[in-house]
Amino acid sequence: MKYNIKLAVDYLAELTGSEVKVLAHANRDDAKLPLAIISCYNLCDVEFIETVVTIAMPTEQDGISPMQLAKHQAKMMEAFHHPVVFVLESVESYKIPRLTQARVNFIVPGKLIFIPSLLIALRELKNKAIVMPEKMPPVAQMLVLYHLEKGNLDGLNTAEIAELTGLAYPTINVALRWLDINKIITLVGGKQKHVEIIMSKIELWNKSLPLMSSPIERILFADTKPVGGLMAGETAMGHYTMLAEPATPVIAIDKAAAKENAALMNKEYGDIKVEVWRYSPALLSEEGCVDKLSLYLCMKDSPDERIQMECDTLIDEMKW
């Protein structure tokens, strides 16, 4: 067990240039897991990139499928409130796509590393630097906008933000790590790190804006308004500003709603224009309308000068 831990620790330190500290595993959290899971692994905690991570080494390397690892990872991360990384002696080539598609954090010391929970994905036998996305990921963007428009995230930890937004702990964890690495926020504290935001809201907006993008993933059309649809696009601009509302109403829904209403929508025809967003517009909405800052991101590159002027109005009227 110690030998496997040393291999994993040395491999992480070598690839990233970051110190990896071995900690005592917090056994009190093991009781939250079914015996059928906890008995399958030897566990050890490490501190890596200022984050506590549990290293899980299967006691039977050949007995656990990629889907089982994915399920066990979700249960462990829910119990431990921090990332879990599996250390494997080897992985058959046909299992690698299954592991990566299921977003299983795993290491094969000396060969492979894939830790999406910490935004690390390096190819086999390639000592490449960690590459962060140039644009802010959708959930990270939503969290910044939530802080600017809805509620203060300063001082909250990952679990509290997950409960507040209704999103999964791992999803929030990845978003906060991105924001921390890109110096939008700071994660401080021990095992249960919390968010620290020292910039004013207008400073945070100005620093984040170049990294942000439109939340719209695709455009569809429908004759019937999908349940939960919010005023968006030119319709929302008409709600917030003096711009006249369009003849074709525009609404926004999230990807889950788009999937549920797939039979009602198509790519070309309908009386209602439907924007499918990368994050839930409902998390930031008020009074049946998408939030002002997301709307600005959707509309700011419009060639219509009237819309450009009203986009400026949206920002000028923000109460930072």
The gap from C-alpha 254 to its chain's centroid, in whole angstroms, comes to 15
| pLDDT the model gives residue 20 | 85
How far from 304 is each of 198, 299, 301, CA to CA, in Å?
36, 9, 9
CA distance 204 to 200: 6
Q: Are strands 84-87 and 51-58 parallel, antiparallel or unpaired?
A: parallel
| pLDDT the model gives residue 299 | 94
| pLDDT the model gives residue 5 | 75
| pLDDT the model gives residue 133 | 52
Backbone CA torsion sign across 43, 101, 136, 297: negative
Q: What is the pLDDT of residues 104-118, one digit of tens each?
A: 999 988 888 888 887
Q: What string of H, E and C letters represents the secondary structure of the chain? A: CHHHHHHHHHHHHHHHCCCEEEECCCHHHHHHCCHHHHCCEEEEEEEECCEEEEEEEECCCCCCCHHHHHHHHHHHHHHHCCCEEEECCCCCHHHHHHHHHCCCCEEECCCEEEEHHHCEEECCCCCCCCCCCCCCCHHHHHHHHHHHHCCCCCCCEHHHHHHHHCCCHHHHHHHHHHHHHCCCCEEECCCCCEEECCCCHHHHHHHHHHHCCCCEEEEEEECCCCCCCEECHHHHHHHHCCCCCCCCCEEEEEHHHHHHCHHHEECCCCCEEEEEECCCHHHCCECCECCHHHHHHHHCCCCCHHHHHHHHHHHHCCCC
| pLDDT the model gives residue 212 | 95
pTM score over 0.85: no
Q: What is the pLDDT of residues 149-199, one digit of tens each?
A: 999 999 999 999 999 999 999 899 999 989 998 999 999 987 788 999 999
| pLDDT the model gives residue 121 | 55
Average pLDDT of the chain? Answer: 88
Instruction: Spell out, as residue ranges, where the chain has pLDDT lower than 50.
Output: 122-132
* 278 within 8 A of 217, measured Cβ to Cβ: yes
| pLDDT the model gives residue 120 | 67
Distance, first Cα to last Cα, the chain: 53
Owner of token pair 């517009």: 281
| pLDDT the model gives residue 123 | 42
| pLDDT the model gives residue 158 | 94
